[in-house]
Amino acid sequence: MIELIPAIDLIDGKCVRLTKGDYATRKIYNEDPVAVAREFESYGFRRLHIVDLDGARSKHIVNYRVLERIAASVPGMVIDFGGGIKSGEDLRVAFESGATLVTVGSVAATSPELFLDWLQEYGADRLILGADVKNGLISIHGWKEESTQELLPFLSKYLGEGVRHVLCTDISKDGMLQGPAVPLYKEIMKAFPGCGLIASGGVGGMADLIALDEAGIPAVVFGKAIYEGRLSLAELAEWAENKP
């Protein structure tokens, strides 16, 4: 059964969503992300994905106080947090503010030695490798810059170093509600069968979640489909409960 992970994206402490990572497309869905997290918890979700979009743009953690409030309000949820993790101090603050796991992408692409140091210090169960993809290449710094690194070699390098969890977002799909990049995720799982892959981007309805589940993808992050009413939390909870 695929793990369902609802998402909260933060700008100015508010719950928002973007389209294809474009900050000009921001749409505020709720002024109170703590209330959103509590609603997810009330429907039985045990995992939460939080993205600090201000942090991603500023290149340092920004919304850690909001993370702190969310973590305190839903102590039973596993929180993975990303956005703006560029230094050891950012990483420390994220964990101290309540993150169970932290997603690191840009540092892994630009400063591999530092990322490997963090992997050794915190362990593979606490770090998620962020792999944001555009035109087959890894994107960095809040998707504003494209690196020259191809996805599969990038993943191969770090999975070989002990990474277990990978969050992969196809930027062209993100926020479009037109379906996730199932062929891409299948390609990753075929190349790395033991990878703890978390698919992200493009989920527009229940059919997309079923397709990812049938493709054998371990986990999926989704948000906009909930906020736009394409998915109901009750429907998701019932599917998860009844799925073998």
Give yes or no: 32 in active site: no
Q: Which residue range(s) make up the domain with 124?
A: 3-242
- Count of domains for the chain: 1
Nearest-CA neighbor of 13 among 27, 29, 37, 33? 33
Q: According to the model, what pLDDT value does residue 85 have?
A: 97
> Which residue type does 203 have?
V
> Which residue type does 63 have?
N
Q: According to the model, what pLDDT value does residue 176 have?
A: 86
Q: Identify the active-site residue in 132, 170, 174, 208.
A: 132
Query: In this structure, what CATH number is given to the domain that contains residue 19?
Result: 3.20.20.70
CA distance 166 to 158: 10
CA distance 118 to 102: 11
Sign of CA dihedral 235, 180, 182, 151: negative
Give yes or no: 132 in active site: yes
> What's the angle, vertex CA 42, arms to CA 40 and CA 45, rounded to 5?
50
Tens-of-pLDDT digits for all 244 residues of the chain? 999 999 999 999 999 999 888 899 999 999 999 999 999 999 999 999 999 999 999 999 999 999 999 999 999 999 999 999 999 999 999 999 999 999 999 999 999 999 999 999 999 999 999 999 988 999 987 677 778 899 999 999 999 999 999 999 999 898 889 999 999 999 999 999 999 999 999 999 999 999 999 999 999 999 999 999 999 999 999 999 887 7
Q: According to the model, what pLDDT value does residue 93 have?
A: 98
Extended strands (E) in 31-164: 47-52, 78-82, 101-104, 127-134, 137-140, 145-150
Residues with Cβ within 8 Å of residue 179, at least 6 apart in sequence: 173, 202, 203, 204, 208, 211
Q: According to the model, what pLDDT value does residue 140 have?
A: 86
Q: According to the model, what pLDDT value does residue 147 have?
A: 85
Q: According to the model, what pLDDT value does residue 146 have?
A: 79
Q: According to the model, what pLDDT value does residue 174 have?
A: 85
